[in-house]
Structure 1
Amino acid sequence: MLQRLLPQSLWGRLTLVMVIGVLLTQLAGNFIWATQRRAEALAEVATASQHVGKSAAGAVRFFLSLPPNYRPLILQQFREMGGTRFFANIIDAPVDVEPITGQELADAALAHLRVSMKDALPNTPDIRMSFTWLERLPARRDVMLTDLPEAWTQQVRLARPAPVLVIQAELEPGNWLYLATLMPNPYFLETGNPLTRDRLLLQALSLAAVLLLSILVVRWITRPLAALSEAAAAFGRGENPPALPETGSREFINTARAFDAMRQRIQRYIDDREKLFVSISHDLRTPIMRLKLRTELLDDEAMQAEFHDDLDELDMMVKGALQTVKDSDIHENPTEVRLDALLGRMVRDAQLAGHEVTFNASGLTVTAKPLALKRAIGNLLNNALHYGQQVELAVREKGGNIEIVVRDHGPGVPEEALAELCEPYVRLEHGRSQNAGGMGLGLGIARGIVQAHGGELALANAPGGGFMATISLPGGAFNPEHAV
């Protein structure tokens, strides 16, 4: 499953590795940064909580030192003159506050505040504190803090919402001191969040820049490899592509030079082999002819006939070797071929010769060497006409490939002999009896031509009887206006 999910190209795999590497690096960096930031935020909250706790304890001690009837006057002065960080009020009972929950920094701040105020006010029987939002904060049971004059509550109002600390301390039964204030850093809850909008935007921009550069670099590195792959595939099809450009990395330049040198050596070897093979085959015909003439001088007619048969067989083998070289090495450029036109001419020629051949037009074209493809199909068609009186030709598109099917209604082939049919000079018993002049080279030549086109030749017994040869060539449909 992993192999199927991975991109098939080197460019895709390198890009995927770069993307995963960058993402993992950012995740690790975020984790380390978040851990450090959390520790720093907890330390800052502890210091700020101790400072606010001392200030709140001082306010509670101040109101405890005042006579109850003086407290409203002092509160009025605070509201008119300012000078304190707290909004203060005297209430007869504590009010219910909707606390902020699920915030680690808020819980840590409250824990430090309780410790600080308990140490500073050991004799105060009941102290309640919590963080809440301003719009949910009551000043007393029937009045919300936001309903009070802004001059009274300016200590707890900001441009954007921030958590408000509410401390309610019991001065004496029936009298509670109500304090509301902001922390020194009003937005301290946000310091514990490592994934802020600004940081996410910065990381997204850096990730996009790294990925863009990585993709461009990987593309630049792999493009010469694609050119090398195309040149190797073209050379395998018998084409003569131009030399690879010596650009790119040093490793690719060395590879391109080695590939060009190998291609030249292989081409020289093929040319030399063809010349040698043709020369030897041609030169053998002269001594064969001399031997035939000398057999005429033999007095023993039986021995003369045996010599003639052996020399005829040798002459047939030489001719077959020449035919194999000529048929399997047709020098021409690939082009787009209309299969309907090509097969139609072959079918008409067979029908004029008295054979029963059927073919349905398909409208498909294929990129191939026209004469070589015609020779391969012709070998299969002639083979089918020899062993089956009725032949059917069909062309179809399957899995992105073009398939050409030649089926006859002859005796078929034993299953154990299918693997050897394309070997040179291999002929089955019924083939010798029906086609005495054959040499067993047609299927081998056809397979060589098809493989030179990057395709495959499949031989099998047809369902319902007969024999079926299927040529599968890579490619698909093309514009018929550009076909030959």
Structure 2
Amino acid sequence: MISPSQWLKRLLPQGLLGRSLLIIIMPLVMLQMVSIYVFYGAHWETVAKRLAKGLAGDIGAVIEATRAFPDPEAQAVTLAIAAAKMELDIRFVPGGILPNEPPPPPSSFLERAMAEAMDERVQRPYRLDADAFEREVVIKVQLSDGLLEIYAPKKRLFSSTTTVFILWMLGTAMLLFGVATVFMRNQVRSVRKLAVAADRFGKGLDVANFKPEGATEVRQAAQAFNIMKGRIQRQIQQRTEMLAGVSHDLRTPLTRMKLQLAMMGDAEGRADLEEDVAEMERMVEGYLAFARGEGSEKPIPASLPDLVDEVVGRFRRQGSTIDLHSEGKLVLALRPDALSRALGNLIGNAIRYGGHVWVRVGQRTDAAEVLIDDDGPGIPEASREEVFKPFTRLEESRNTGTGGVGLGLTIARDIVRTHGGDVLLEDSPLGGLRVRVRLPL
């Protein structure tokens, strides 16, 4: 069952722009609701009562004038004055009688206000009909000698300030909402640019000439991002140059050692020394490969299925059995040489420790995935993160005669992470190890 807090979170906007506008709109709506309550509860109610009392007072004055001057000519003058000065169309029906039944209860506030005013200022039986005509209110008052019918315009009971007030509130609210949307969109745009720059840098793409803009806090975050980017790039360059330099410097003594071994002839212990030198040479090559994983290759749009097919083709030409399946076209910004080296390391490990290898390439939600399954011994779950550390080999579960210095998985994950992705190890449904390579789209 969904809790109220979770239900509320689902209703709230997820983006910064939507939430910022909500922060602006909610107080505005609450202010308008309070204003409307105050207006209708005080101002409009007071005005409506005064208008009703004014109309009832005019009707009462006309009735008193007709009683004071019962002459037909005087009554006609009174009714003419009422029509000209009071906007009241009054007709006298001699002998007219109101229905002998209680009046219907007032259905609106205006009818209640008019009823109170008639009881106060006229004090005679009456009937009020506000729905008979579109622009007039009909009021019938019982007199001793007949029925007085008064047709009064509805504008005498309705104040135009109500419509003006509502239109003013809606107009200003829409204007403020438009201005707030424009300003907030400009502020959010700078945050989005910062997010795009961080995402591109996380994927190893070039983020050149990123200019801080927007509010002070956003500029500070953008400047901090630029400083962080420069530090990370310098650190990567220094590490690459150090590893490359050390590996290159080791080649000279190794070459001298190989030359001396060749001149030793069949001396005792030569075979062991040659094996040690060969092991050192493999380690130096591993260092150089690790350094090249952070190389300066630029990302370019490339087809991931074609790249995987090329890597698998190299192993097939060497006699390996690999089942490859690709799902459609997937074009990403890739460093083809570096990613080819990473996939080669992963597929090579699967071939080395399994009898058969299955490779799948496809799109999964928001990422492209390469799945590499083998039917080998696998890797214990507790050791799956350990094997990504440099120079780590699980001798208890891997063949000790396979060689290597423990940098293959390290180099592969390092390259994939420079693309913004990751390499994960899982149990394979085929009984061995599954390597999941995720690359963001």
* TM-score normalised by L of structure 1: 0.75
Alpha-carbon spacing, 1:132–1:432, altered in 2? closer, same or farther (3 Å): closer
Secondary structure, aligned partner of 1:241: coil
1:108 counterpart residue number: 113
d(CA) in 1 for partners of 2:221 and 2:377?
A: 52
Which residue, out of 312, 321, 337, partners 1:347? 312
Q: Which residue in 1 is equivalent to 2:37?
A: 31
How big is the alpha-carbon RMSD for the aligned residues of Structure 1 and Structure 2? 3.6
* 17-26 vs 399-408, greater mean Cα deviation: 17-26
Between the aligned partners of 2:27 and 2:422, the Cα distance in structure 1 is: 42
- 1:312–1:103 distance in 2 versus 1, CA, 3 Å: same
Q: Is the 8 A contact 1:447 1:456 kept in 2?
A: yes
One-letter amino acid of the counterpart of residue 129, structure 1: Y
**More deviation, 391-400/412-421:** 412-421
Structure 1 Cα separation of the partners of residues 131 and 341 of structure 2:
91
Letter in 2 for 1:179: L
For residue 308 of structure 1, report the CA deviation from its aligned partner. 7.4
Query: Which residue does the alignment assign to 2:76?
Result: 78
Q: CA deviation at 1:391?
A: 0.8
Match of residue 9 from structure 1 = 15
Q: Provide, for residues 184-241 of structure 1, a one-character-per-residue CA deviation record: whole Å limited to 9, x for no partner.
A: x7334433994x4x65555444333322222211122222222222222222333332
In the aligned structure 2, how far is the partner of 1:12 from the partner of 1:443?
44
Q: Which residue of 2 aligns with 1:259?
A: 225
Is 1:380–1:443's contact at 8 Å kept on the other side of the alignment? yes
Alpha-carbon shift at residue 324 of structure 1 (Å): 1.4
Q: Give the Cα–Cα distance (whole angstroms) in 2 for the partners of residues 285 and 314 of structure 1.
A: 9
Pick aligned residue for 1:357 from 308, 314, 322: 322
| Percent identity of equivalent pairs | 28
Q: How far apart in 2 are the matches of 1:350 and 1:128? A: 107
Any conservation in 2 of the 1:231–1:241 contact (CA below 8 Å)? Answer: yes
Amino acid at match of 1:37: H
Cα-to-partner distance string for 1:334-370 (whole Å, 9 max, x where unaligned): 2222233222222222222111111123222131221
Matches within 5 A, 1:172-321: 176-182=145-151, 186-191=154-159, 194=162, 196=163, 200-245=166-211, 247-284=213-250, 286=252, 316-321=282-287
Q: Is the 8 A contact 1:387 1:434 kept in 2?
A: no
Q: In structure 2, which of residues 94, 98, 103 is the aligned counterpart of residue 94 of structure 1? A: 98
Larger Rg: 1
Provide the C-alpha distance between the structure 2 equivalents of 1:135 and 1:79, rounded to a whole number of angstroms.
Answer: 27
- SS of 2:230's partner is helix
Among residues 424, 429, 433, which one is paired with 2:395 in the alignment? 429
- C-alpha contact 1:243 1:260 (8 A) present in aligned 2: no
The within-5 A match list for 1:97-136 is 101-118=106-123, 127-133=124-130, 135=132
| Structure 2 gap ranges (5+) | 1-5, 83-87
The CA distance in 2 between the partners of 1:288 and 1:4, in whole Å, is 65
Amino acid of the structure 1 residue aligned with 2:410:
G
Shift of 1:376: 1.7
Matches within 5 A, 1:318-397: 318-326=284-292, 328-367=293-332, 368-397=334-363
Aligned residue for 1:469, secondary structure, equals: strand
The answer to whether residue 162 in structure 2 is matched with residue 162 in structure 1 is no
CA contact (8 A) 1:15 1:218 kept: yes
Look up the equivalent residue of 1:8 and give its one-letter code: Q
C-alpha contact (below 8 Å) 2:367/2:438 kept by paired residues: yes
Say whether 1:438 aligns with 2:436.
no
* Alpha-carbon offset, residue 91 of structure 1: 2.0
Distance in 1, Cα, partners of 2:202 & 2:64: 92
Instruction: Give the paired residue count.
Output: 423
Deviations 1:36-94 (A, max 9, x none): 3323324413641562363255157448xx6xxxxxx8389739984455322222642
Q: 2:228, 2:305 → 1: CA distance?
A: 39
Shift of 1:182: 4.5
Q: 1:54 to 1:7 in 2, by over 3 A?
A: closer
Q: Report the alpha carbon displacement of residue 12 of structure 1 after superposing the two structures with TM.
A: 2.9
Aligned counterparts of 2:405 and 2:308: Cα–Cα separation in 1: 25
d(CA) in 2 for partners of 1:417 and 1:74? 115
Q: Which residue of 1 aligns with 2:85?
A: none
User: For the Cα contact (< 8 Å) 1:41–1:192, is it kept in 2?
Assistant: no
Q: 2-side partners of 1:442 and 1:382: how far apart?
A: 9
Give me the whole-angstrom Cα distance separating, in 1, the residues matched to 2:149 and 2:255. Answer: 123
Q: Distance in 2 between matches of 1:291 and 1:375?
A: 30
**CA 1:429 to 1:230, structure 2 compared with 1: closer, same or farther past 3 Å?**
same
Q: Residues 197 and 207 of structure 2 are in contact (CA less than 8 Å); yes or no, is this contact kept in structure 1?
A: yes
Match of 1:460 in 2: 426
CA distance in 2, matches of 1:77, 1:463: 107
8 Å CA contact 1:339–1:363 kept in 2: the answer is no
Report the CA distance shift for 1:179/1:223 in structure 2 as closer, same or farther (over 3 A).
same
Q: Is the Cα–Cα contact under 8 Å of residues 288 and 315 in structure 1 kept in the other structure?
A: yes
Partner of 1:470, secondary structure, is strand
Alpha-carbon distance between aligned partners in 2 of 1:466 and 1:14, rounded to the nearest angstrom? 51
Gap runs ≥5 in structure 1? 67-72, 119-126, 137-159, 476-484
Residues 247, 418 of structure 1: alpha-carbon distance in 2 compared, 3 angstrom cutoff: closer
Residue 257 to residue 80, structure 1, CA distance change in 2 (3 Å): closer
Structure 2-normalised TM-score? 0.81
Q: Is the 8 A contact 2:141 2:149 kept in 1?
A: yes
> What letter corresponds to residue 114 of structure 1 in structure 2?
D
Alpha-carbon distance change, 107 to 75 in structure 1, aligned in 2, over 3 angstroms: farther
Q: Secondary structure at the match of 2:138?
A: strand
Contact 2:57 2:122 (C-alpha < 8 Å) held by counterparts? no
Is the 1:418–1:459 Cα contact (8 Å) retained in structure 2? Answer: yes
Instruction: Mark the CA change 1:321 to 1:3 in structure 2 (over 3 Å): closer, same or farther.
Output: farther
Take 2:381 and 2:415, find their aligned partners in 1: how far apart are those partners?
Answer: 24
